[in-house]
């Protein structure tokens, strides 16, 4: 039977090297204790924040010292726990680190309420009196902007203390789906048993044998059906927490509260959903092309991930993927390209799936560490694109960390998802322009179309689902597993109108962890729209446009997201980037239809 290896069976060269953070767990323990001992230092400034400029600067500098160390403690623990979610020692380490983070947040929770007792004029006078405060200007502006939604120091302390509890639905969901659940075993077309995992499910759904895909799909979603009450309850509680927190802070909705945190107007969200909804005909065309390519009258749910070529495509081993991704980013400049290559040679990436490893992929790290990329690489084109995606995040962190002080280096997800998809888009252009293998080129084109489908359209569908389930709670209605199924199936039916929904696809909401992240997913769709526009500009205009894009990356969190993106020449308050992205998607459909003699 094909099975997932234990972590000990993976070659060290394909694992990230966390010794650059702490030499071993004992050193982590010492760092944990050192941070824990220093948290009480923050209490000495309570009630004194607005006394004078010098005191405020002292506190902000102390906060940075403690929180920079805290970030390393928390990140190391989380990365260790992601390696094997069954490892109770590392799960306990992660829980302790999370508790320490909550303790530190509680200890400094008075800071923003006390800052908000100042007027803009008083803050300006503080900056005049103490030049060191000038680099905190954006932070101070952002704090004052949130004055109407910040509660008293006492209430803020309580909310900070409750963060461990309010995060419980997401953490329970993660443990259930990564550590406890299994997803069934099926027989492949060669008669071999294959274990289904969250990491390989999508790849199995690209197998050319339709009956096998159907078995995989039904087996997988039957397993989700067995936990639908637990998952439904956890998501319902997460939604209620979002709505309650928004109400406590004086917002009209959870969505308004979530977007206001990064100062993104809700109109940006509405523009995305409305513009995509107006262009569903292009997605429906993609579905019709798939049906024609597969030789079926109508797609079913187990056909959604199928390639227009009708097969899984050639394998792409990790070393080849590394080479192509490095080559692809050449338009962004030699320094960018060399730094990425150096990182890939320095074990930034934890490459392969192992038993118990957290599903999916992410880029992590701190201001004082290198980036760390977790993958579950499957030797396919999709995994190569995921590598490019995560490297976009990592390079963003590297450039922002070089250019900005600690408090301005962290960027909003709205900007982050642009950096990741710029790399994907450049990879597509590079491979289409340089690879002579027609089979590979066709599959690369198909992969990019799939990423457009799953990022621009699917993530917008998720955003619409997230909005509807929150609106239901905010209207005082119940959210049950049946209600989730109904809402999800209604949206899925609209988006995939040419297809027949089968095999339990109405339960797909159960397997999407991002629904716990509080209006997070829409940023994938805005990100790919902006990225497509940026790459078109870079390829058309050359170094000047590339320099503008690098300035966007270097800006980090030194300004609000829409203003940061404008540095790259893109206006995300307009529907233009979204409509342009849909147009590019349609053009690629034309190209692949011609190559495959479809329509």
pLDDT at 310: 74
**Which SS3 state, helix, strand or coil, does residue 407 take?**
helix
pLDDT at 2: 58
pLDDT (tens digit per residue) in 335-372: 999 999 999 999 999 999 999 999 889 999 999 999 99
Identify which of 36, 43, 38 has the alpha carbon closest to the alpha carbon of residue 110: 43
Which domains, ranges and CATH numbers included, belong to the chain?
7-166 (1.20.140.70)
**pTM given for the model:** 0.86
Q: How far apart are CA 528 and CA 103, in angstroms?
A: 37
Q: Sheet containing 362-364: which strands, arranged edge to edge?
A: 349-352, 372-377, 362-364
8 A C-beta contact, residue 234 and residue 172: yes
pLDDT (tens digit per residue) in 280-298: 999 999 999 999 999 999 9
- Positions annotated as catalytic residues are 390
pLDDT at 135: 96
pLDDT at 439: 85
pLDDT at 494: 97
Q: How far apart are CA 301 and CA 406, in angstroms?
A: 46
pLDDT at 63: 98
Residues β-bridged to residue 362: 374
DSSP 360-386: S-EEE--TTS--EEEEEE-SSHHHHHH
pLDDT at 98: 94
Residue ranges, the chain, pLDDT below 50: none
Q: How far apart are CA 97 and CA 361, in angstroms?
A: 21
């Amino acid at each position: 039977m094909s099975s997932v290896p234990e972590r000990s069976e993976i070659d060290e060269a394909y694992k990230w090297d966390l010794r650059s953070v702490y030499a071993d767990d004992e050193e982590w323990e010492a760092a944990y204790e050192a941070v824990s001992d220093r948290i009480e230092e923050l209490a000495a400034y309570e009630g004194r924040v607005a006394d004078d400029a010098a005191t405020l600067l002292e506190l902000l500098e102390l906060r940075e010292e403690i929180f920079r160390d805290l970030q390393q403690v928390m990140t190391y623990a989380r990365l260790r726990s992601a390696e094997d979610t069954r490892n109770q020692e590392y799960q306990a380490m992660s829980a302790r680190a999370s508790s320490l983070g909550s303790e530190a947040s509680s200890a400094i929770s008075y800071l923003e309420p006390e800052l908000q007792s100042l007027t803009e004029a008083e803050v300006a006078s503080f900056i005049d009196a103490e030049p060191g405060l000038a680099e905190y200007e954006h932070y101070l502006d952002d704090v004052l902007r949130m004055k109407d939604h910040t509660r008293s120091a006492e209430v803020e302390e309580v909310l900070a203390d409750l963060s461990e509890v309010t995060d419980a639905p997401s953490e329970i969901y993660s443990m259930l789906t990564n550590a406890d659940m299994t997803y069934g075993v099926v027989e492949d077309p060669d008669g071999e048993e294959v274990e289904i995992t969250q990491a390989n499910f999508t790849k199995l759904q690209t197998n050319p044998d339709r009956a096998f895909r159907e078995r995989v799909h039904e087996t997988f979603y039957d397993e989700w059906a067995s936990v639908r009450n637990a998952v439904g309850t956890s998501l319902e509680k997460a939604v209620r927490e979002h709505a309650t927190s928004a109400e406590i802070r004086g917002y009209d909705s959870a969505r308004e509260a979530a977007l206001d945190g990064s100062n993104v107007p809700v109109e940006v969200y509405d523009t995305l959903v409305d513009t995509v909804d107006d262009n569903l005909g292009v997605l429906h065309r993609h579905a019709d092309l798939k049906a024609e390519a597969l030789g079926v009258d109508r797609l079913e749910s187990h056909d959604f991930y199928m390639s227009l070529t009708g097969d899984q495509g050639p394998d792409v081993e990790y070393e080849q993927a590394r080479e192509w991704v490095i080559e692809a980013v050449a338009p962004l400049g030699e320094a960018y390209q060399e730094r990425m290559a150096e990182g890939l040679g320095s074990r930034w990436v934890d490459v392969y799936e192992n038993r118990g490893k957290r599903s999916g992929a992410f880029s992590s790290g701190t201001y004082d560490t290198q980036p760390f990329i977790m993958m579950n690489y499957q030797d396919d084109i999709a995994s190569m694109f995921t590598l490019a995606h995560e490297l976009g995040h990592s390079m963003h962190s590297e450039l922002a960390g070089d250019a900005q002080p600690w408090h301005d280096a962290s960027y909003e997800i709205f900007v982050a998802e642009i950096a990741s998809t710029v790399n994907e888009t450049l990879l597509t252009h590079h491979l289409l322009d340089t690879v002579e293998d027609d089979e590979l080129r066709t599959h690369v084109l198909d992969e990019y179309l799939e990423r457009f489908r799953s990022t621009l359209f699917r993530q917008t569908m998720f955003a619409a689902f997230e909005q509807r389930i929150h609106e239901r709670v905010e209207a005082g209605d119940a959210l049950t597993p049946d209600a989730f199924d109904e809402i999800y199936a209604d949206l899925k039916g609209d988006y995939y109108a040419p297809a027949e929904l089968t095999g339990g696809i109405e339960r797909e909401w159960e397997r999407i962890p991002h629904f716990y992240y509080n209006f997070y997913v829409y940023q994938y769709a805005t990100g790919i729209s902006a990225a497509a526009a940026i790459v078109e500009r870079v390829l058309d205009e050359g170094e000047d446009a590339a320099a503008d894009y690098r300035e966007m990356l270097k800006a980090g969190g030194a300004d609000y997201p829409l203003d940061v993106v404008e540095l790259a020449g893109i206006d995300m308050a307009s529907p233009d980037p979204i409509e342009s992205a849909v147009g590019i998607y349609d053009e690629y459909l034309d190209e692949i239809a011609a190559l495959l003699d479809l329509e």
